[in-house]
């Protein structure tokens, strides 16, 4: 889905992780990634291979215990795997992402040699610092330097637990705060044996949370934006949706300026390499979820010789274009809804009835009712069709949220939309005071820069709706229109789809969940096959991502890999 929607990381995480898969920006019609990304910068060009492309993709729980998910608002997309682009190009035809030169250019030495000043912050035991990075790696100027938020928690093991270096984590989005994810979950909730051997480290990517955050709207404007009808019935409603996308793009351009042209996944991966060097790690050890898999795979493609142990959980396929990514995700949410409906039908109080095959029709009728007359919520805000759709989709990320969804739907059928609105707000990272985090803004900015847009006009959306409705009779129309967001973006896309071989990299562990709603299992299979050293680990189950979500088989395989560098046997499957 396009730029305003997110994918999030795995079920046990806290509100920190968001991942959107989506979008792209108003890019030129000819993919720019037919030329490799520029070299380290400062005028040194990277060798031009067959071509290079970009791609992208997390979840958690918010402070109220609700599932924290990516956003689905108008124009939203669920994180775009860096490198989706290519206008229907089969993944096997996508150009290759070429590595950067091994030597660091003189103009970038000062970034690689900087010293971090650590201080206590947040929860007890965590430290924070600020990393400097160039706004533009090709033309670094100290006056334009970005300040990126970094946090760590040192290895907890005593003398018997040999320190293995730093373990960098990213929960996805794009737009999810890695620092928040570290302090609220990974630094205290990852397996104790992993935390004993590693300093747990996170950096908010450029444009996200504590790292020069992209901003676009006031909170009141964002409320109005999320309520816009995403299934327009006539020319007037279509015009309102297009105006909403255009206003959103204009707001980002006005409030975030030149930063919008420098928040790509390629640049974020290069920031990670600077941090790796500053932490004095010879190689990168990393766990990335959802969009975080695209960020990690991009790092591997650019710096294959610096790959240590990489876990890519809930993988994105960087070789797909935006339309294909959005359509695949639409099918993924339908698969997740079908699982929810089957589970619900076995319960006496199921608000969708006892026949799973008819559950979609009953839900669609609820959406239609909210479209005609938004539901009361006990507050000034009402539950529109778009907010109701977002609330349902948010609960698809983690089967632990299905109980909340049953309760919310039961109330909605009785005319009370409060609980479904709360699920929608959790997805958008809107708190009880009406304040939004910058998740949705960063999500759009990254997605629209990484790939050309899925659609550039309402006519293109209408022509694609039949295929989207085939992928999902319930969500297809809404998600097709959501994929139009980046068509009005003020900055041209700098990326496009590409394959990532990362030749020469150490074994990379790719994890896929068979009924993952946001990052379909086929994407994990594709990424593992692209990576020259990729190893696929499969979780046969529901929900988004697999690590630390209750499968001892998955957790043991990943823990062993992180501690010994030994990946599980080829094509290992867990239930």
Residues labelled catalytic = 290, 516, 544
| Residues ≥6 apart with Cβ < 8 Å to 7 | 18, 19, 20, 21, 57, 58, 59, 69, 70, 78, 79, 172, 173, 290, 291, 314, 329, 518, 519, 544
How many residues would you count in the chain?
575
Kindly state the tokens that stand for 545: 């991502």
| Residues ≥6 apart with Cβ < 8 Å to 154 | 125, 127, 199
Print burial letters for 114-153: b (CB count within 10 Å at least 16), e (below 16): eebeeeeebeeebbbbbbbbbbbbbebeeeebbebbbbbb
Kindly state the tokens that stand for 279: 């932490």
Can you tell me the distance from the alpha carbon of 335 to that of 367, in angstroms, rounded to the nearest whole number? 19
Q: Which helix (H) or strand (E) is 226 found in, with range? A: helix 219-227
Separation in Å, CA 158 to CA 195, 285, 399: 11, 21, 37
Q: Which of 28, 141, 21 is nearest to 70 (CA)?
A: 21
- Gap between the terminal Cα atoms of the chain: 28
Q: Residues 462, 477: contact at Cβ < 8 Å?
A: no
Q: Helix H segments across 279-384? A: 291-302, 322-345, 356-372
Q: Which of 377, 290, 362 is nearest to 16 (CA)?
A: 290
Print burial letters for 273-294: b (CB count within 10 Å at least 16), e (below 16): bbbbbbbebebbbbbbbbbbbb
Q: Which residues pair with 150 in a beta bridge?
A: 129, 203
Kindly state the tokens that stand for 76: 């939203």
Q: Residues 172, 446: contact at Cβ < 8 Å?
A: no
Q: Residues 97, 46: contact at Cβ < 8 Å?
A: no
Can you tell me the distance from the alpha carbon of 470 to that of 501, in angstroms, rounded to the nearest whole number? 33
- CA angle 315-470-228, nearest 5°? 80
């Amino acid at each position: 889905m396009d730029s305003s929607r997110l994918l999030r990381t795995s079920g046990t995480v806290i509100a920190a992780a968001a991942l959107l898969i989506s979008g792209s920006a108003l890019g030129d019609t000819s993919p720019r990634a037919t030329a490799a990304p520029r070299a380290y910068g400062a005028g040194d060009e990277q060798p031009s291979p067959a071509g290079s492309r970009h791609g992208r993709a997390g979840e958690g729980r918010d402070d109220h215990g609700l599932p924290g998910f990516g956003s689905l608002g108008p124009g939203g997309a669920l994180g775009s795997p860096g490198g989706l682009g290519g206008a229907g190009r089969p993944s096997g035809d996508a150009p290759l992402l070429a590595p950067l030169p091994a030597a660091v250019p003189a103009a970038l030495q000062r970034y690689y040699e900087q010293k971090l000043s650590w201080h206590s912050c947040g929860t007890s035991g965590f430290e924070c610092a600020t990393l400097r990075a160039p706004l533009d790696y090709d033309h670094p100027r100290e006056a334009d330097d970005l300040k990126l938020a970094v946090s760590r928690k040192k290895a907890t093991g005593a003398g018997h637990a040999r320190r293995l270096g730093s373990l960098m984590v990213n929960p996805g989005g794009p737009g999810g705060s890695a620092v928040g994810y570290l302090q609220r979950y990974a630094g205290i909730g990852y397996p104790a044996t992993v935390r004993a051997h590693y300093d747990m480290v996170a950096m908010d990517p450029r444009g996200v949370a504590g790292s020069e955050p992209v901003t676009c709207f006031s909170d009141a404007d964002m409320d109005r934006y999320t309520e816009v009808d995403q299934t327009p019935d006539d020319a007037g409603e279509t015009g309102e949706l297009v105006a909403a996308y255009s206003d959103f793009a204009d707001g980002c351009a006005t409030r975030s300026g030149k930063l919008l042209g420098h928040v790509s996944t390629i640049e974020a991966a290069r920031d990670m390499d600077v941090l790796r060097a500053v932490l004095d790690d010879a190689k990168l050890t990393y766990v990335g979820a959802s969009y975080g898999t695209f960020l990690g795979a991009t790092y591997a493609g650019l710096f294959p010789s610096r790959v240590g142990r990489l876990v890519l959980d809930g993988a994105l396929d960087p070789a797909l274009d935006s339309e294909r990514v959005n359509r695949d995700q639409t099918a993924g949410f339908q698969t997740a809804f079908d699982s929810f409906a089957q589970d619900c039908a076995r319960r006496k109080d199921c608000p969708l009835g006892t026949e799973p095959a008819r559950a979609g029709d009953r839900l669609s009728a609820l959406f239609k009712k909210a479209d005609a007359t938004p539901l009361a919520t006990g507050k000034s805000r009402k539950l529109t069709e778009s907010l109701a759709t977002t609330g349902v989709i948010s609960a698809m990320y983690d089967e632990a949220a299905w109980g909340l969804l049953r309760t919310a739907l039961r109330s909605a059928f009785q005319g009370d939309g409060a609980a479904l609105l709360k699920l929608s707000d959790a997805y958008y990272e809107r708190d009880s005071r009406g304040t939004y985090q910058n998740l949705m803004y960063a999500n759009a900015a990254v997605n629209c820069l990484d790939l050309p847009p899925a659609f550039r006009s309402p006519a293109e959306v209408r022509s694609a709706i039949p295929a989207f409705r085939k992928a999902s009779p319930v969500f297809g129309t809404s998600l097709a229109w959501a994929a139009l967001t980046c068509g009005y973006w003020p900055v041209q896309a700098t990326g496009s789809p590409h394959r990532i071989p990362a030749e020469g990299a150490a074994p990379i562990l790719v994890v896929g969940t068979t009924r993952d709603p946001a990052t379909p299992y086929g994407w994990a299979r594709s990424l593992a096959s692209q990576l020259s050293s990729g190893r696929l680990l499969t979780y046969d189950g529901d929900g988004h991502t697999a690590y630390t979500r209750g499968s001892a088989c998955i957790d043991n395989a990943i823990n062993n890999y992180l501690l010994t560098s030994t990946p599980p046997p080829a094509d290992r499957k867990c239930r």
